[in-house]
Structure 1
Amino acid sequence: MNMTRIQTASPEAVYIHIPFCTNKCHYCDFNSYVLKGQPVMDYLAALEREMERTALVTPPGEIDTIFVGGGTPTVLLPEQMAVFLRMVETYFPNRSEAFEFTMEANPGTTDAEKLAAMKEGGVNRISFGVQSFDPSLLTAIGRIHDVDDVYRSIANARAAGFGNLSIDLMFGLPGQTVETLNRSIDAALALDLQHYSIYGLKVEENTLFHKLYQRNELPLPSEDDEVEMYALIMRRLREAGYGQYEISNFARPGCESRHNITYWRNRSYYGLGAGAHGYHGGERHVNIKGIQPYIDATQNGLPRMEQFAVSREEAMEDFMMVGLRMLDGVDAAEFARQFDGAALEEVFAPVLSSLTERGLLVRSDSGGYRLSEGGIMVGNEIFGAFVGYFA
């Protein structure tokens, strides 16, 4: 069972990292750097070198999704944005009929000129990092936009012809209550968007919030309040007609994030840019994180910080951990397809039996397994049951 599983087909999904931000939010541990003084055009030139080499090493076929994350990609100036999107078109030109091209954006960073450049460059979906509609909370978590910026940005995007919009919200924030969250949900639903991502705060190392937490100066909601917040989110979004297709994501029918589904189905994807992760041919890689080190590394080859083979057992564990995040669960036929005919129920019999008996997993219509209603509330415990299963 120590064989490396090889994915031979070219990835159909592309992730590209733009690491620049206007400022660093108090909770953020992403690979991002304050924009001022950064060599943006040098970075874009380095990104083009990585794209060119990647396309030579692993020639792309038909691309189904592209996702540009950060950082805040929309801090690029309109002319920089146009240069960047022309590069993407050059190296990943062959696109599926239902092609999805998402760009993350911060409210207040998308004026009409920039949106026009994005539209012309093929972007057809925007994900805005809103986080809250409570002005005091936005300040407390280090966001520099205000609520008016949110409304203006959504209106500008719609005026520019974007019909597939998403926003991120957060819960479990310092000082947040069930009532203040409910008001944010009211405001979010009033926008009548196609998609909502709603995440619980994680206090990550190397963030201001982690320092405050260690000093007992971070007034987080109680665990009971967090559970109530999550239950409220699920109820409100479902009542408003949004399907919960993943534990933190809700969409109108047909508007699910197809790019993120690539990750949750444990499928391969290109990862480009400083600190980006990629997965293909039974290998994962992580790129060099620093801006100048990344730029320098692309002069001599692919800018890898780390590259390692994923064993068949690890890939099976990953399949379960990420696949069970989807509310339709893991599919037995897909498991067999990815793992040379292996039977899901035989490979994971003890843990599946235990979780099913506890009422946390149920059999799905596809013959696989999915989270029960109760299981959704303790998802991390269930995903953790597959970590190191073969160790």
Structure 2
Amino acid sequence: MIQAAYLHIPFCTHICHYCDFNKVFLKGQPVAEYLQAMEQEMKRTVAQFPAERVQTIFIGGGTPTALDIRQLDFLLENIHRYLPCTVDKVEFTVEANPNELSREKLQCLKDAGVNRLSIGVQTFNDTLLRRIGRTHQTRDVWQAVETAKAVGFTNISIDLIYGLPGQTLEQLQKDLAVAFSLDVPHISAYSLIIEPKTVFYNLMRKGKLSLPSQDEEAEMYEETMKQMQQHGYVQYELSNYARSGFESQHNLTYWNNEYYYGIGAGAHSYMNGIRNVNIGPVKKYIELIEKGQLPYVERHEVNERERMEEEMFLGLRKIEGVSKQRFYEKFHRSLNDVFGDVIAKEKANGLLEETETHVRLTHRGKLLGNVVFEAFLHVS
């Protein structure tokens, strides 16, 4: 059963130095035609892959809030027209830049049933913000959160990044202190990953990017986990922390390895056992839709072995780990029957632990998660 829908807005007013998502500069782009193409993709996708009711909707990017109010209205109206959801029961998230959240846009989102905001903060250090290519300043975050609360948003998440070029542990501690003072119920904190085809990747190849060492980055992660716990935020996934009841249900769809729609240029979907990747370039996406097609450039039917592997490396991102009962219900085989040798090895390495109901990462395993995830791939 399809649980969620992701919609991709690839337009940005500025490209951040670390971003490798499918995105283009907003200026000169066929935004209206793109939104019309998204409408047709929604219509055709739901007709071909019906769902009784999606539990979560997430509009990401790019930068969804780069759209003007008229464009946002058009998109939001079509979401309600084509996606099967109950307004008062769906978790409806929109990603936002702090300096693009006017009161008018916030009211537009609220009136259309959006009930969760994910605000890209990254850091509260204005020097670091400029260094990573962000266009907002710390004061914009305060203004955005204050206005969002005034409009009626209670479910607000902010994103932080640590391990930034030249960042120190002390600067991270200051970032966390400011984050806690905002009094929002959800905080994501990710380590910086240098991806190909980004400004930072090119700088790194030229030896012009000064990053914290692996030990310093690990210390930042340890500090983040400690501070979150002290301030009442429960770590429910490797990089995500929430007050009780404010966990991201949309992201849990991914980590629980459930089905979801993916609409828009470069979007991914997982429906009826098939993983699809949409074509990335905006104009090529529009062309395929105008030809009456769905915009898939990659389709992969996931076999049972791959599904079991995915269940492990996605599920182990959750702090509770992988449920033995859920694994059995999905695959009609016990977790230890399939992966017993790998689990035993990683337990001996101190990276996994086992309870009566779950297999999960240890504290040390959280620091070396990718090592554990890789251990479950291509196991004979």
Which band: TM-score by shorter chain? over 0.9
1:4 counterpart residue number: none
SS in 1 for 2:283: helix
Alpha carbons of 1:253 and 1:365: their partners in 2 closer, same or farther (altered >3 Å)?
A: farther
- 1:349 deviates by 1.2
Kept after mapping to 2: 8 A contact 1:329/1:364: no
Give the paired residue count. 379
Kept after mapping to 1: 8 A contact 2:98/2:119: yes
**Mapping 1:338-377, distance limit 5 Å:** 338-339=330-331, 341-366=332-357, 368-377=358-367
Separation of aligned partners in 2, 1:93 and 1:283 = 20
2:256 counterpart residue number: 265
1:325 counterpart residue number: 317
Instruction: Tell me the C-alpha RMSD between the 2 structures.
Output: 1.0
**Mapping 1:277-316, distance limit 5 Å:** 277-299=268-290, 300-316=292-308
Separation of aligned partners in 2, 1:143 and 1:371 = 34
Separation of aligned partners in 2, 1:115 and 1:48 = 22
Sequence identity, in percent?
46
- 1:95 deviates by 2.3
Higher RCO (C-alpha under 8 Å, 6+ residues apart): 1
Kept after mapping to 2: 8 A contact 1:328/1:364: no
- Say whether 1:17 aligns with 2:31: no
- Say whether 1:52 aligns with 2:70: no
Please tell me the residue identity of whatever aligns with 1:346: D
2:376 counterpart residue number: 386
2:138 counterpart residue number: 147
Kept after mapping to 1: 8 A contact 2:87/2:113: no
- 1:96 deviates by 7.4
Kept after mapping to 1: 8 A contact 2:6/2:57: yes
Structure 2 unmatched runs, 5+: none
Runs of 4+ aligned structure 1 residues displaced above 6 Å come to none
**Mapping 1:39-188, distance limit 5 Å:** 39-95=30-86, 98-188=89-179
- Say whether 1:212 aligns with 2:208: no
Alpha carbons of 1:202 and 1:239: their partners in 2 closer, same or farther (altered >3 Å)?
A: same
Please list the CA deviations of residues 46-87 of structure 1 after superposition, one character each: whole Å capped at 9, or x if unmatched: 000000101110122111000110001011101111111000
Please tell me the residue identity of whatever aligns with 2:254: Y
- 1:94 deviates by 2.9
SS in 1 for 2:117: strand
Separation of aligned partners in 1, 2:175 and 2:167 = 11
SS in 2 for 1:74: helix
- Say whether 1:30 aligns with 2:27: no
SS in 1 for 2:100: coil
Please tell me the residue identity of whatever aligns with 1:348: F
Structure 1 unmatched runs, 5+: 1-8
